[in-house]
Amino acid sequence: MNAARMMFSASLYIIVCSARNRIRVRLRRLREPRYLFGAIAGVAYFYFAFFSRVRAGRAGRRRRAAPMPSPDVMAALTASGPAAAGLLLMVVTTAFSALPVTSSLLVFSDAEIQFLFPAPVSRRQLLLHRMMRSQLGILFGIIVFSVIFPSASGYARLQTGISLWLLFATWRVYFAGISLARTRLTDRAASARRTAWTPMLVLVAALAVVAISVARAFATRPVESAQDVLSRLSEVAAIPVVRILLFPFVALVRPFFAEWPWPFVLALGPAALVLAAAIVWVLRTDEGFEEAATQASARQAAARQARIAPAPTARAVGWTLALSGPTEGLFLWKNAVQIARATTGLTLIRYAVPLALIVVSMSTSVMASRNAVGLAMALCSIAIYIAAFTVMLGPQIMRTDLRDDLRHLELLKTWPLRASAVIRGEMLFPGAVLTAIAWLALTCAAILSAAGFPRLSLAWRMSGALSALLLTPALVFAQLMVHNAAAVLFPAWVPLGTSRPRGVDAMGQRLILFGAVLLTLAVMMAPGLIVSAILWFAFYRFIGAAVLIPGAVICLVMVAAEVLTATEALGPAFERLDVTSIERVE
């Protein structure tokens, strides 16, 4: 057996066995109730979130007979679509080629590096193996997309799937070539440098020629309509030079626009040709393979490790642990130090940017629906959403408590501490931080409340704000209690550190846990709310809006009592908690 066939069969063996074993593991773990229930919840979620909506949408379309674009527009789209999409693809490809991003095709797993790199196989064969392995991921993504793709016919789904596969496969291979070329841009040998620079310079030059032609087409007279834009792009694409330069890009997108079945089949030929050309080019420019692959794999491994356990920095935190004091204080210090050292500007951006986007978009939608205007009103609305988001989702996101410290359970179990104090101590830091953030946002909202709620009197606004301030720690600590109770009672359900198990079953587990948290929160708040309601009916007529405040105080006190009682009750369960329930038996 020659080396190429040997590598091909070895590659196929790795891919098939890995895929088979991964499916087996996923199926085998369904024997455990937590994964079975999780899988049921996950499948149900998918069904209701996607499939039922797709079916309902289809039925709705049939009933409504949604208006189609005019025949002229459809004709223009069919005629000019490939040119416009090809042009877009060219621009995106050039932009990405200039970015210092390494192709994922050059990322090998640790096992691949250990087993295949020292094996008697060529670099080309290794690249072919990696290309073959990447197909599974592409195919899976495309199947999922094709299923949820809003389309009336199965053929259209098939056409979209095949077109997407050709596009993504070529895209990946091409960027592997670009990544390989990049490693030789500063090579000592002039010929190597020439070979490395050529594809990028050719691409930029091609884009420049096409851009000039497009600019000329649009500079002569103003644009009249979308149809006009498409027809002018079509004219540009028909220019012989531009046609040649755009060929690979247009060929890759043409299958999306071709009619089913024969025009589509005919469009596949040129697209396949482009893919084959990209593969040949990459296999011929494999000189910098080892360096590029090793660097890419190391970067990927570091990024993966950073996601599991971000590398902290030993910065001073200005808080020295006192040598005596309550257990809770010890955990407050430990978790505060952890956050202070784990949090970097980048981490803050990672959480702050999505949070800001969510809050701003939600606020904007509310403002729009109420026809509200004014900066003060907008800020008030944003502050309320920040507070609500922090209180309701903060305890789920901020896991610097027992959920994170299950990783250190072996160490915690050797400490001579009361288990209930450990649980309380673990909750203290995230609870304090979330409460502080929510309080800050609520204080801002209270200050701006005159603009945010112009119809409410000062008494109502201040009573409401004060009540919200009082209820915040109750809601935060009640939720943290449920999350930590879950960690003690069902440790196997809790992902360790920042790692997250994958799969529909794991997603279902998270949904179940979230539902359980909400349910428990409702149960915990119920006694306080009932007493508050009684107070309302008894005293509202005498003290008005101020009755909200004693109601909130009662809720806070009752939830505090419940949390204390629950942590005491969880103590024996923590004592019984076995490290083998969260780790494999040695």
Task: Return residues touching other proteins (CB under 8 A).
Answer: 309, 311-314, 320-325, 330, 334, 337-338, 341-342, 408-411, 413-418, 575-576, 578-580, 585-586
SS3 414: coil
First to last CA, the chain: 41
Compute the distance between CA of residue 474 and CA of residue 459 in angstroms, rounded to an integer: 23
Q: Which one, 191 or 586, has the nearer CB to other proteins?
A: 586
**Shortest spacing between CB 288 and other proteins, in angstroms:** 31
Closest distance between other proteins and the C-beta of residue 327, in Å? 9
Contacts of 569 (CB under 8 A, 6+ apart): none
**443 C-beta neighbours (distance < 10 Å), count:** 14
Those residues whose C-beta lies under 8 Å from the C-beta of residue 193, and which sit 6 or more positions away, are: 184, 185, 186, 187
> Minimum CB separation from other proteins for residue 486, in Å?
20
Closest CA to 466 of 536, 400, 550, 404: 550
Find, among 350, 428, 359, 346, the residue nearest to 393 by Cα.
359
Q: Which residue has the tokens 């908690």?
A: 577
Hey, what are 45's tokens?
A: 């979620």
Query: Which CB atom, from 112 or from 404, has the smaller least distance to other proteins?
Result: 404
Count of beta carbons in the 10 Å neighbourhood of residue 69: 12
Asked if residues 429 and 339 have their Cβ atoms less than 8 Å apart, the reply is yes
Which of 33/100 has CB closer to other proteins? Answer: 33
Contact, 392 vs 361, CB < 8 A?
no
Nearer of residues 237 and 427 to other proteins, judged by Cβ: 427
Closest CA to 440 of 399, 460, 469, 462: 469
Query: Which CB, 243 or 576, lies closer to other proteins?
Result: 576
Q: Which tokens is 207 given?
A: 């884009």
Cis peptide before 354 (omega within 30 of 0): no
**Nearest CB to other proteins, comparing residues 417 and 531:** 417
| Identity of the residue, 72 or 578, whose beta carbon is nearer to other proteins in the bound complex | 578
How many Å apart are CA 397 and CA 389, to the nearest integer? Answer: 11
Judged by beta carbon, residue 129 or residue 399, the one nearer other proteins is 399
- Minimum CB separation from other proteins for residue 481, in Å? 23
Minimum Å distance from CB 92 to other proteins? Answer: 39
Single-letter residue type at 524: M
How far is 307 from 313, CA to CA, in rounded Å?
A: 15
Which CB sits closer to other proteins, 134 or 420? 420
What's the closest the beta carbon of residue 346 comes to other proteins, in angstroms? Answer: 17
Nearest Cα neighbor of 120 from 11, 7, 13 is: 7
415 or 542: CB nearest other proteins: 415
Q: Shortest approach of other proteins to residue 440 CB, angstroms? A: 25
Query: What's the min distance (Å) between Cβ of 120 and other proteins?
Result: 34
Task: For residue 218, give both structure tokens.
Answer: 């649009």
Closest to other proteins by CB, 320 vs 369, is: 320
What is the closest distance, in whole angstroms, from the C-beta atom of residue 122 to other proteins in the complex?
A: 37
Our CB check for other proteins shows the closer of 311 and 356 to be 311
Cβ atoms of 482 and 564 within 8 Å: the answer is no
Q: Which amino acid is at 385?
A: Y
Burial of 154 (0-12, 13-18, 19+ CB in 10 A): exposed
User: In the complex, what is the shortest distance from the CB of residue 513 to other proteins, in angstroms, rounded to a whole number?
Assistant: 25
110 vs 578, beta carbon nearer other proteins: 578
- Closest to other proteins by CB, 365 or 581: 581
Helix intervals (H) in 99-189: 110-115, 123-148, 154-182
- Shortest Cβ 130–other proteins spacing (Å): 31
Burial of residue 325 (CB within 10 Å: 0-12, 13-18, 19+) is exposed
Least distance between other proteins and beta carbon 303 (Å) = 16
Shortest distance, position 136 Cβ to other proteins, whole Å = 34
Report how far residue 245's alpha carbon sits from residue 86's, in angstroms, rounded to the nearest whole number: 10
Within 10 angstroms of residue 328's Cβ, the number of other Cβ atoms is: 17
Tell me 495's DSSP state: P
The string of DSSP codes covering 391-408 is HHHHHHH--TTHHHHGGG
Of 200, 207, 206, 139, the residue nearest 174 (C-alpha): 200
- CB neighbours of residue 207 within 10 Å: 18
Least Cβ distance, residue 425 to other proteins (angstroms): 12
